[in-house]
C-alpha cells in the first residue's frame, strides 16, 4: 500500500465475499433444492425412492416465492433463476410418470421477476425503449436451456428464435 502525507492511505480496499453456490436466501434455497431433487428423481425414475416426493403444490409455491427474493440476491442469481424457470417452462418435470403442470406458474413468475427488476430494482438501467440492460445481457449472452440427452449427459442449448421471443416478452411485460 502506498502512503501519502503522514502515512494517510491513498485508498481503502474492502472485500465482501459472495457465494455463487449458496444464495443465502430462504426462498431461492427452497426452490433450487426442490429443483435439484426433481432432476435427481427424473434421472433415476426407474428406481422407486422412499424419500420425499415433490408435488405440484410444493413446486408451484416455491416457484411463486422466488419473486419475493431479497433484492440483492435476486439480481445476483437472476441468470441462474431465469434459466431454471425457462427449463421448467419448456420441459415440464415428470415424477413417477406424472407430469408436474408448472408451465403457467413459471411463465407468470418470469413475468413478475422481469417486472420487479425493470420497475423496482434497476429502473436506472432501462434504455429509452424501456429495455433493461441486465435482462438484455442475459438474453444475448447468457440464456441457455439445459436439455438432458439419451445417454444421461446434459446439453446446453441457446435458441436464437427463443431469444427473439424473449426480447419481445421482456418488452411486453413492462407495459
- pLDDT tens for 8-52 read 777 777 776 666 567 788 999 999 999 988 887 765 554 455 456
Q: pLDDT above 70 covers what percent of the chain? A: 69
Task: Give residue 60's pLDDT band: very low, low, confident or very high (50, 70, 90).
Answer: very high
Cite the DSSP H helix spans in the chain: 26-43, 56-65, 71-76, 78-90, 103-115, 133-137, 160-173
> For residue 154, what pLDDT is reported?
44
pLDDT tens digits for 65-110?
999 999 999 998 998 899 899 888 888 888 777 888 899 999 999 9
Q: How far apart are CA 87 and CA 106, in angstroms?
A: 9
Residue with cell 492511505: 9
Q: Please list the residues that pair with 155 across neighbouring strands.
A: 147
Amino acid at each position: 500500500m502506498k502512503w501519502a502525507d503522514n502515512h494517510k492511505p491513498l485508498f481503502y480496499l474492502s472485500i465482501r465475499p459472495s457465494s455463487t453456490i449458496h444464495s443465502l436466501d430462504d426462498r431461492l434455497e427452497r426452490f433450487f433444492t426442490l429443483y435439484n431433487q426433481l432432476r435427481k428423481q427424473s434421472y433415476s425414475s426407474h428406481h422407486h425412492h422412499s424419500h420425499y416426493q415433490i408435488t405440484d403444490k410444493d413446486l408451484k409455491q416455491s416457484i411463486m416465492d422466488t419473486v419475493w427474493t431479497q433484492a440483492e440476491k435476486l439480481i445476483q442469481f437472476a441468470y441462474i433463476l431465469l434459466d431454471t424457470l425457462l427449463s421448467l417452462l419448456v420441459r415440464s418435470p415428470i415424477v413417477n410418470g406424472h407430469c408436474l403442470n408448472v408451465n403457467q406458474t413459471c411463465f407468470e413468475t418470469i413475468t413478475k421477476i422481469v417486472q420487479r427488476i425493470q420497475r423496482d430494482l434497476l429502473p436506472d438501467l432501462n434504455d429509452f425503449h424501456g429495455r433493461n440492460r441486465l435482462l438484455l445481457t442475459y438474453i444475448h449472452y447468457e440464456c441457455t436451456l439445459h436439455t438432458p440427452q439419451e445417454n444421461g449427459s446434459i446439453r446446453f442449448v441457446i435458441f436464437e428464435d427463443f431469444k427473439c421471443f424473449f426480447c419481445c416478452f421482456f418488452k411486453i411485460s413492462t407495459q
